[in-house]
């Protein structure tokens, strides 16, 4: 009977994950633009024609319509289907990882990974993380903290979660002000600070430190690849326009949240196991 319930939970997570993923696409598009997430209903952003329910079925409708609007033929970004599939996979993974800890932990972690996914794409496309997204991540972290105090939680103690809050939010806030003082402008967004405050409380200090290190490594590889690619393009270019120092600095900028959210998601699932395996090497 327990196996039957588990299978049903997997199926429910997959279906709900797809549906919630469709809603995340609404958040990714509308929140950075300051739009109402409820009104108007789903519509084509070009011809403004309302999208019928049968054209709004996650993944299936995108494949049937071949990634185009039924009315005007405008191409629809594959990001819509990617977000739906990723959220489905994340929710199924949450069942696999957190089902044994109870429904409370499972729901909190499922909502968290959905918000991390939303933050990933909003920062990737708009270089910003909506406060509402960071707020939900923070609420999920508080819920996990309360569950831990009540004896319903993962292997991360509530004390470790408090230290994680300081490790994540405190360190990023310190970096924010240091960079602001040195270069006289933001080098790290406050959205990243708010994100890591919630993530730190959720993951605990060990996984938070690991997530920050992992994110920095990923960002470093990306920055090197970006610099190498830009260097090749500049060699091929025949333009002789001189760029100001500020313009060059702007070209070097890139969103950091995609790396932070990726690292946070990995550490949510495997952080404590990785940290334990690492410390055991020296014991």
Higher pLDDT, 176 or 20: 20
DSSP labels, 58-114: TTHHHHHTTTB-TTT-PBPPTHHHHHHHHHHHHHHHHHHHHGGG-HHHHHHHHHHHH
In this prediction, residue 19 carries a pLDDT of 95
Residue 187: exposed, middle, or buried by beta-carbon count in 10 A (0-12, 13-18, 19+)?
Answer: middle
- In this predicted structure, the answer to whether residue 216 has a pLDDT above a threshold of 80 is yes
- In this predicted structure, the answer to whether residue 229 has a pLDDT above a threshold of 80 is no
- In this predicted structure, the answer to whether residue 78 has a pLDDT above a threshold of 70 is yes
Model confidence over 132-141: pLDDT tens digits?
999 999 999 9
Q: Of the segments 28-42, 228-242, 263-277, which one has the largest average pLDDT value? A: 263-277
Model confidence over 143-184: pLDDT tens digits?
999 999 998 888 899 999 999 999 999 999 998 888 888 877
For residue 31, what are the CA distances in angstroms to 105, 131, 223?
Answer: 27, 9, 27
In this prediction, residue 54 carries a pLDDT of 84
Higher pLDDT, 87 or 228: 87
In this prediction, residue 20 carries a pLDDT of 96
- Structural domain boundaries of the chain? 1-97, 102-227+253-278
């Amino acid at each position: 009977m327990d196996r039957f319930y588990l299978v049903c939970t997997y199926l429910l997570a997959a279906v709900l994950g797809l549906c919630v993923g469709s809603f995340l696409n609404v958040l990714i598009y509308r929140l950075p633009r300051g739009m109402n997430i409820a009104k108007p209903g789903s519509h084509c952003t070009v011809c403004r024609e309302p999208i019928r329910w049968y054209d709004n079925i996650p993944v299936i409708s995108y494949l049937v319509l071949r990634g185009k609007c039924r009315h005007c033929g405008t191409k629809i970004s594959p990001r819509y289907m990617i977000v739906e599939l990723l959220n489905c996979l994340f929710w199924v993974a949450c069942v696999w990882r957190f089902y044994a800890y109870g429904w409370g932990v499972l729901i909190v972690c499922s909502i968290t990974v959905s918000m991390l996914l939303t933050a990933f794409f909003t920062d990737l496309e708009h270089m910003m993380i909506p406060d509402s997204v960071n707020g939900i991540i923070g609420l999920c972290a508080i819920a996990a903290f309360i569950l831990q105090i009540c004896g319903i939680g993962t292997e991360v103690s509530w004390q470790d979660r408090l230290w994680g809050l300081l490790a994540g939010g405190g360190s990023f806030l310190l970096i924010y002000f240091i960079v602001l003082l040195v270069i006289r402008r933001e080098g790290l967004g406050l959205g990243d600070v708010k994100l890591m405050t919630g993530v730190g409380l959720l993951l605990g200090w060990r996984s938070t430190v690991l997530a920050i290190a992992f994110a920095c490594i990923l960002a470093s590889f990306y920055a090197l690849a970006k610099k190498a690619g830009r260097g090749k393009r500049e060699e091929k270019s025949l333009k002789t326009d001189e760029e100001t120092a500020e313009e060059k600095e702007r070209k070097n900028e890139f969103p950091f949240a995609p790396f932070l959210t990726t690292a946070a998601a990995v550490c949510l699932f495997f952080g404590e196991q990785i940290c334990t395996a690492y410390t055991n090497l020296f014991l």
